[in-house]
Chains A and B, each alone.
Chain A
Amino acid sequence: MISVTEDNFDVNAVIGRVRRPDMGALVTFLGTVRDDGGTEVMELEAYEEVAKKELATIRDEAFAKYPIAAVEVVHRIGRLRVGENILLIVVGAGHRKEAFDACEYILERIKESVPIWKKEIGKGGERWVPGESHGGDA
């Protein structure tokens, strides 16, 4: 399942939804709000309809590239405090290597193309976290 939501998630509950007896590996990536020298709050904003479609495309790419059995992605938006959950990716596969590789692939593709933005807010002011990629059309 793919979701973009303001609600927090329970990591174990998501893993529980994914796991099946034919999976020998469940690789989980959990991204959280980092205290980057005084950050107190992070505001996340999405072009929601497009973000959901793009996440689904990335999931489909991962299935096409790696022999994996399940993918679950939850990306939070809204106002989050330092230490709170932002992103959960769970990949289930028969074996560890494809699960790790697919999880990393999904994460890097999210950073590259899903329309979500973050603003760090702290005592020193606020700043938009710079994007890492221009999607190949600078």
Chain B
Amino acid sequence: MQVRVRTFARLREAIGGDLMLEVPEGATMSRLLAAVGETSEQAGEALFEENGDLRAYVILMHNGRRVRRAEAGTRPLADGDEVALFPPVAGG
């Protein structure tokens, strides 16, 4: 199945822009994050600590809604979903 990944600010620069990724049917958010990290060394470093944990500043959204980091491992994705990855917001 295909999932659209939107990236913003410093994470957009590190990952290189938005992505369309092919992941196995029923893949979770964590599985998708790993796939994004595998697209390049820079992407991997931007998303993950050396021990493999998701970096503290990464905020996750699934179809326009915030996803708690603790839920990433169990949250299933569906074909055509949109996942967004970004650092803390700084508007205003």
Residue numbers of A with Cβ under 8 A of B are 31, 44-47, 49-51, 53, 75, 86-87, 107, 110-119, 128-135, 137-138
Query: In this complex, what residue of A is CB-closest to B71?
Result: A137
Q: Is the interface of A mostly helix, strand, loop or mixed?
A: mixed
Q: Is the CB of A135 within 8 A of B66?
A: yes
B88 adjacent to chain A (CB < 8 Å): yes
A137 to B9, CA, bound (A): 19
Question: Known contacts A45-B9, A50-B84, A117-B8: does B91 contact A137 (CB below 8 Å)?
Answer: no
Contact status B86-A111, CB under 8 Å: no
Q: Max chain B CB contacts within 10 Å: which of A51, A53, A87, A137?
A: A137
Q: Tell me if B64 and A49 are in contact (CB < 8 A).
A: yes
Q: A47-B6, A50-B61, A137-B69 are in contact. Are A128 and B91 (CB under 8 A)?
A: no
Q: Is the CB of B92 within 8 A of A31?
A: yes
Question: CB of B59 within 8 A of chain A?
Answer: yes
